[in-house]
Amino acid sequence: LTGDAAAGEKVFNRCKACHAVGEGAKNKVGPELNDIFGRVPGEIEGFKYSDAMTEYGKEHVWDVETLTAYLAAPRKVVKGTKMAFAGLKKEEQIDDVLAYLATFDPD
């Protein structure tokens, strides 16, 4: 991971309305994002995902590559996703937010 976690914390302000991360993080409009690297898309118990995300999870795992693609263009990468977010325009913002999320990933 090449991003800057401190810069990514600021980018994450745009995610916070819907996602929590860190100790005790709960699902909100979107699922909690702890330990995201290596998670199967759509696997958080008690969160109601779109069918599109459940299907996507049958053939993908969240890693740097899949997360980068999804965050750049959520509705193109997971057609039918219910994440109402247009995507991050700059690759640097994605690298930074992934570096931030990695600080909540023990692996």
Residues that bind ligand HEM (CB under 6 A): 14-15, 17-19, 29-31, 33, 36, 41-42, 44, 49-50, 52-53, 67, 71, 78, 81-85, 88, 97
**Least separation in angstroms between CB 65 and ligand HEM:** 13
Nearer to ligand HEM, 3 or 42 (CB): 42
For residue 103, what are the contacts with CB-CB under 8 A and spacing of at least 6?
5
In the bound state with ligand HEM, the residue whose beta carbon lies nearer, of 14 and 90, is 14
Please tell me the distance from the alpha carbon of residue 77 to that of residue 107, in angstroms, as a whole number. Answer: 25
Tell me how far, at minimum, the Cβ of 106 lies from ligand HEM, in Å: 17
Number of neighbouring beta carbons within 10 Å of residue 15: 20
